[in-house]
Structure 1
Amino acid sequence: MRNAKATQSELSWTQHPFPFPHVIPPQLAIQQCTAKMSQSHALSDDQVAGELRKMTAFIKQEALEKAREIQLKADEEFAIEKSKLVRQETAAIDTLYEKKFKQAAMSQQITRSTLANKTRLRVLGGRQELLDELFQNAREKVSKVAADDQKKYQAMLKGLVLEGLYYLNEDNVAIRARKKDFDITKKAIEEATKEYKDNVGSEVTVTLDESEPLPEGSAGGVFIVGGQGKIEINNTFEERLRLLEIDALPAVRETLFGKNQNRKFYD
């Protein structure tokens, strides 16, 4: 009868395996032990209880060892996953830091470039203001000469007229001047025509065009008209100073500010 029950129990455990495959299910172990002891010889109740305690202790020990094995494996897998996550997060942080660093470097470079350009423009603006002031002072001094020193101004007008005569090389030339300079311009024309004849050996007729005087706001000088009114030479002080600014500007800049280190080619 007991053997039949043990066999039925074994079939039941075979159909429903114990969670720990290496450990004998407690009930099956007890039944097998009881059946074995019954087959060999009869045991007292105390002996049976002692055998059962041993079997129970053995089963508990097996279960504890299996549990420790499972725990160790779980801890190992957790450590692996944890290390993987740490590496992934570290790589993400490094990538983000590198991106932020590049953005900061680019922003800093743009800021430095902007400040450098602003400083450069400010310096260039200051230099241009100084040059404008310099040439404005020159214009004022020339105007002052025309107003205060008539003898010197007449000599300057003579030179301007003579320059136009040499350039045109014509028989008839007209001169335009400021209305207040008509008298002194006539004297300058007389001296210029005489010198022109002495140097070139030919006569030239120079007339003062009083119908179209230069603006009174002009600093001085003359317009020389030739080619039957088709050719005009602007020999006013304003124009001569403008040309002087263009021609002398590089030398003036070098004198005031020194050589340009960024300039590679010179005329």
Structure 2
Amino acid sequence: MTAFIKQEATEKAREIEIKADEEFAIEKSKLVRQETDAIDAAYRKKFKQATMSQQITQSTVANKTRLRVLGARQALLDDIFAAAEKRLGEATQDKARYAAVLKGLLLEGFYALSESDVRVRARKADYEIVREAIGAAAAEYKEKTGSEVAATIDEEDDLPDGR
């Protein structure tokens, strides 16, 4: 009888051990899955942060480059404007060429405005040459379009010297 009880106890112990091993395996796989998911989530978060950081860095570098290009372009434009301003002062030295340029500009203005009465602003120093250019431009305008234009110098509101 003791052998039977011992046998029953051994079988019961084996069943309990098997059941405990199964529960342990289930709990272990559940914990492994949870930790794997947590590690995957942490990896995704770090990857997203690294990607965002890389995009920010690229954007910063691109903006700095763009600003350098814009700065260089502005410096070049400033140089061009300074050179043009210097050459504009020299343009009035050759009177014949200056008169031709004024006539062309006046004629272009007459065409653009298409008005019969035009007031022209000029520097006091250029009044005489502008009068001659107005006459020549008005004559050519009449010849080309067939309509007359009356242009006068606005002596009340003249341009400042140096421009």
Q: Show the counterpart of 1:77.
A: 19
What is the DSSP-based 3-state SS (H/G/I as helix, E as strand, rest coil) of the residue aligned with 2:74?
helix
Partner letter of residue 59 of structure 2?
N
1:208 aligns with 2:150: no
Q: Once the 2 structures are TM-superposed, how far is the Cα of residue 110 of structure 1 from its aligned partner?
A: 1.8
5+ unaligned residues in a row in structure 2: which ranges? none
Partner letter of residue 28 of structure 2?
V
C-alpha distance in 2 between matches for 1:142 and 1:153: 15
What TM-score do the two structures reach when normalised by structure 1? 0.51
Q: 131, 134, 140: which one pairs with 2:82?
A: 140
C-alpha distance in 2 between matches for 1:134 and 1:75: 87
Q: 113, 123, 126: which one pairs with 2:55?
A: 113
C-alpha distance in 1 between matches for 2:118 and 2:6: 129
Q: Once the 2 structures are TM-superposed, how far is the Cα of residue 165 of structure 1 from its aligned partner?
A: 1.4
Partner letter of residue 65 of structure 1?
Q
Instruction: Return the structure number with greater helix share.
Output: 2
Q: Once the 2 structures are TM-superposed, how far is the Cα of residue 203 of structure 1 from its aligned partner?
A: 4.5
Q: 128, 132, 143: which one pairs with 1:190?
A: 132
Kindly indicate whether the alpha-carbon contact (under 8 Å) linking 2:138 and 2:150 is maintained by their aligned counterparts in 1: no
Q: Show the counterpart of 2:112.
A: 167
Partner letter of residue 72 of structure 2?
L
Q: Relative to structure 1, is the Cα distance of residues 185 and 142 closer, same or farther in structure 2, using a 3 angstrom cutoff?
A: farther
**Deviation string for 1:175-226 (max 9, x for gaps)?**
123xxx322354144224314413532553322223223466xx73xxxxxx
C-alpha distance in 2 between matches for 1:153 and 1:134: 27
Q: What are the equivalent positions in structure 2 for 1:1-267 lying under 5 Å apart? A: 23=1, 59=2, 61-150=3-92, 151=94, 154-177=99-122, 181-184=123-126, 186-201=128-143, 203-214=148-159, 220=163
Which structure: larger Rg? 1
1 or 2 for the larger relative contact order (CA 8 Å, sep ≥6)?
2
Q: Show the counterpart of 1:249.
A: none
Deviates more, 1:72-81 or 1:188-197: 188-197
Kindly indicate whether the alpha-carbon contact (under 8 Å) linking 1:159 and 1:192 is maintained by their aligned counterparts in 2: no
Partner letter of residue 115 of structure 2?
E
Q: Once the 2 structures are TM-superposed, how far is the Cα of residue 104 of structure 1 from its aligned partner?
A: 2.0
Q: Once the 2 structures are TM-superposed, how far is the Cα of residue 155 of structure 1 from its aligned partner?
A: 4.3
How many aligned positions are there?
157
What is the DSSP-based 3-state SS (H/G/I as helix, E as strand, rest coil) of the residue aligned with 1:173?
strand
Q: Once the 2 structures are TM-superposed, how far is the Cα of residue 119 of structure 1 from its aligned partner?
A: 2.3
Kindly indicate whether the alpha-carbon contact (under 8 Å) linking 1:171 and 1:204 is maintained by their aligned counterparts in 2: yes
